[in-house]
Structure 1
């Protein structure tokens, strides 16, 4: 009797083990099918075959002409790029956060970063809630500058790594168009709106930039530049919309290298000066969009000089000279801090807009703080559009 009991117990154990192994192997097959690994055509590395892939580049970026191998986001989305060095990683993530908060079109982030910063970007973006994470495909690249005796000079031109933007067209050779921004940027409206400027380019234009100043008499370039520059005021390079296909077909890279040799002892603002020199000689290749698309402290610190910002509010906020982090321009810092504190998924009207207005009220005695609508008007407009859409949905409009 005892022998029979032991036999039944042993048989039960064998059956349980067999069932466990069956389900374990079945789950492993399912996992491998949903996380299929395919060669990455751009770097030769491997990546998961899904919408929001995470890729590291070895710095030397290759290309593929077969865009059918790319995701739908890559083919039809908005490509946004930044370069992060030093201590710029945190503000870079807040920049990306501002982009995804207001934008419905799929976004493709191209992040050029020092090695020690790359893991931070991965951890931060992968931690975003699915509602926002699913809108984003991101790629992380090592820094890459032209090889030769001036490689270190390129890397340290003006600010560390800032000149990387000049070489993006020759690195991302299967990207047709891209918006490059400095890391001290906040988007205050959907990226679809600035992306639409690409359709306003004529046949010769390949880059869009905003003026460095609105008044030629006050312009730094007009007063101090020792090199050629674009127009009467020069242009600012912080928000740079690029038709990369056209750039690659132009004399872009070789010209910039030559201008650096010719003017390196006369330039002050590094890569921005080189861009000004380039567009001085090729003005037909530049589209100039208005100041509200690159709104900086210079537009309000003495008097309000950006008419578009006065009328419609800033579309892109550019906190250059680190005003997002110091007390020199409290209104800019108030805007940045509001984006830092805002939680993904929180109500935009009450947790973003109302909070921003409350913080701006504290800055009303400062030059830029006297113009609070410039910092919130586009956000308010976006929220109003959402409310109209919801009402139409509710009542079948």
Structure 2
């Protein structure tokens, strides 16, 4: 026996004897290879531990199913020393114990950025939730329009929304001295206990819009069951030393300890109503304001002052339901121990906040920014016993065209600030209306160089493309300061480009009496905005009249846009510019009569002809485009035909023009060229549309097949 074997035998023998004496586990000597395995395993374990410890912060299984991925009810109840109010119920063991209980959620939403934040918040909320939700949203006029459109077109199952006009409740908080960056809107969460009818709900969760959910809100809703018979306000401790006066030279409003953060509030409405909440908080606020002056954190300062004087109202919600990420946040102490359920970007910097784990949380937020919100339309559980899952539709070769009659495309209006003053909005003002996809984004910068007036643009984008568009606009020197451009987003859904739906979104959201219905790949002549206003001013009655702006094109990508008609005629003579589609689609613009236009010095009338599709200026209350026409073919022709059925006059402007810039063919053009089924569906839709015009206006158009004899329109 070697010396190594002797030593090994000694240690193994002693190890066996000791373990046998203590627990009587080992009854035989340890084999040699087991010792080697044990040693190697110990070494590997120590290496892993040594590697992981330096990175052991937020990355410690925030989204995995480890023991930290679910916090027990005992831990929740005893957070920060709080005692449990009652034993664990059987239903508490099942996170989905009542899938059909309606959760009531309140927001205050009153601005363009707030609408944008709410869109992302809703995606994170819907992602984890399957319960019915009733939203109660305090809004101004703009946000009501934006959010009503969003909810109507998103069509998420089992969600309901009630809007409350902020103007009806401003007087309740206007008197409060306040210096919070959100202004008077930062006080309105105090009003929810007053405005929500008790016959609708006796409890509500009120949220800021700058939150990201990473857990199911039903778990937060169930905390109401933990309230004792006096507790009425559930709130998370503030995760900074602000109320201790350490991070500011200004003395903060009084609070208990670190105070509490009002980004997530649980209101027991019934108890607050009994306590006369509408009188309670003003009474406290008036007394404190005399001593401490203006609130600096809005409603949060007032709620803290109330809870300091009425401690029995407080239910302390666990920290992970409001993980705060301001510059001086101490939230690490929370998310290092518990799985985060809600991330709160409670800083004016929002996602640009300084935090050592900020990259992780920004990635989490970006996941929902780019998440396809259309996937959230799924319905996992049917609360209505009579409601059945939707049956698979029967095979329909033209299904994509037919779905435009009934389907909705998720739409986010005014995703950036829009302003067009009343002085500018004169009786002859006109908005440039166009739609575009992500690959035409760079053309927006070109357009604004030539058009100084208001613009309404509708983007057709995926969720990631939408974020890219937003960033492009925010960082563009030409676009970032232009506030008279209304930007709207329609999110991609389906195979074909819903071009007329996009046009209608832009058309319905203008603030001027007239619109110029154009396409994004056309650049207007310099000064066209002023020229059009001049013509509109000289025509006293624009009812059933359309002003035609002649369209030209160049095949040169770097060709300059002529400054005026004289310069255009010179370029036309040199064949560097020519009438739009004159070589492949004469019928589209031939009625404009370009020969006459060359020498015209005054507007002249022309007659409509089949397949005419000019670019026109009309009253903003013009008939909308027919949504059934999607993709390539007849989408604009059908609109012009309907205006003709209404008896419109067609007037060509002699000193106005637009220039088409060359670009790569679209997917829908390729589909039209290569797919007989596509062309068949379009032909059927054309015939259906003409019959509808006859029924509606008593005008029977000749059903010629001109549009479909050509390879390209």
- Contact 1:296-1:320 within 8 A present in 2 as well: yes
Where in structure 2 are there 5+ consecutive unaligned residues?
1-97, 377-713
Describe the shift of the 1:297–1:280 C-alpha distance in structure 2 as closer, same or farther (beyond 3 A): same
Describe the shift of the 1:322–1:341 C-alpha distance in structure 2 as closer, same or farther (beyond 3 A): farther
With normalisation by structure 1, the TM-score equals: 0.60
Correspondence 1:162 to 2:162: no
* 1:314 maps to which of 340, 343, 349: 340
Q: How far does the alpha carbon of each residue in 1:171-228 deviate from its partner, in whole angstroms, 9 at most, with x for none?
A: 1123211000101011111111000100000010001000013xxxx62112264543
Correspondence 1:80 to 2:108: no
Aligned residue runs from structure 1 range 1-397, under 5 A? 76-86=101-111, 87-128=113-154, 133-144=156-167, 152-154=174-176, 158=180, 159-160=182-183, 161-174=185-198, 175-213=201-239, 219-223=241-245, 225-229=251-255, 231-264=256-289, 265=293, 267-298=295-326, 304-306=332-334, 309-326=335-352, 328=354, 329-344=358-373, 346=375
**Larger fraction in helix:** 1
Q: Distance in 2 between matches of 1:346 and 1:146?
A: 36
Describe the shift of the 1:302–1:155 C-alpha distance in structure 2 as closer, same or farther (beyond 3 A): closer
Describe the shift of the 1:164–1:157 C-alpha distance in structure 2 as closer, same or farther (beyond 3 A): farther
- Contact 1:100-1:107 within 8 A present in 2 as well: no
- Contact 2:178-2:295 within 8 A present in 1 as well: no
- Contact 2:173-2:187 within 8 A present in 1 as well: no
- Contact 2:326-2:353 within 8 A present in 1 as well: no
Q: Distance in 2 between matches of 1:330 and 1:324?
A: 13
Q: Distance in 2 between matches of 1:91 and 1:313?
A: 23
Q: How far does the alpha carbon of each residue in 1:363-395 deviate from its partner, in whole angstroms, 9 at most, with x for none?
A: xxxxxxxxxxxxxxxxxxxxxxxxxxxxxxxxx
SS class of match (2:235) = strand
Aligned residue pair count: 263
- Contact 2:136-2:163 within 8 A present in 1 as well: yes
Q: How far does the alpha carbon of each residue in 1:233-252 deviate from its partner, in whole angstroms, 9 at most, with x for none?
A: 11110000111111111142
- Contact 1:91-1:183 within 8 A present in 2 as well: yes
What is residue 370 of structure 1 aligned with on the other side?
none
- Contact 1:107-1:136 within 8 A present in 2 as well: yes
Note the C-alpha offset of 1:95: 1.3
Note the C-alpha offset of 1:142: 0.8
Note the C-alpha offset of 1:268: 2.1
Q: How far does the alpha carbon of each residue in 1:276-328 deviate from its partner, in whole angstroms, 9 at most, with x for none?
A: 1100011111100121110012599678221xx22332101101114544364
- Contact 1:157-1:163 within 8 A present in 2 as well: no
SS class of match (2:333) = coil
Where in structure 1 are there 5+ consecutive unaligned residues?
1-72, 348-397
Q: Distance in 2 between matches of 1:271 and 1:81?
A: 14
- Contact 1:319-1:332 within 8 A present in 2 as well: no
Q: Distance in 2 between matches of 1:316 and 1:101?
A: 13
SS class of match (2:174) = helix
More off after superposition, 116-125 vs 236-245: 116-125
User: Whose relative contact order is higher, 1 or 2, with alpha carbons under 8 Å and at least 6 apart?
Assistant: 1
Q: Distance in 2 between matches of 1:225 and 1:193?
A: 36
Q: How far does the alpha carbon of each residue in 1:1-43 deviate from its partner, in whole angstroms, 9 at most, with x for none?
A: xxxxxxxxxxxxxxxxxxxxxxxxxxxxxxxxxxxxxxxxxxx
Larger Cα-atom Rg: 2
Q: Distance in 2 between matches of 1:339 and 1:177?
A: 28
- Contact 2:285-2:305 within 8 A present in 1 as well: no
SS class of match (2:104) = strand
Describe the shift of the 1:163–1:147 C-alpha distance in structure 2 as closer, same or farther (beyond 3 A): closer
CA RMSD between the two structures = 2.7
